[in-house]
Amino acid sequence: MKKQYLKYVFVFILLLFIIVPIKSYAITSLGNYTIESYDINMVVNEDNTFDITETINVYFNMAGHRNI
C-alpha cells in the first residue's frame, strides 16, 4: 500500500515539474508581465493529505494589473 502511495506522490511531483514550466512560458509569452520565480513547497502528511504553498513573484511591464 505504501509503495503505491509513494508512486502517486512521485508522479504528482513529476507532473508539477513538467506542467509548471509550460504554464509559465505560456503566461509570459503574452508580454504584459513576467513570472520571475514560481516556488512550490509541498508537505505530505501521514494521513494522506498534502499541505501545498505556492509563491509566485511577478514583474508587471504595464500599470493597471490587479491580478494574474
pLDDT tens-digit profile of 14-31?
Answer: 777 776 665 555 554 556
Residue 43 confidence (pLDDT): 92
* pLDDT tens digits for range 21-67: 655 555 545 567 778 888 999 999 999 899 999 998 888 777 765 66
Nearest C-alpha neighbor of 24 from the set 35, 40, 13: 35
Amino acid at position 20, single letter: V
Q: What own/partner pairs with CB < 8 Å and gap ≥ 24 does 12-20 have? A: 13/42, 16/40
Q: What is the pLDDT of residue 14?
A: 74
Show the cell assigned to 4: 503505491
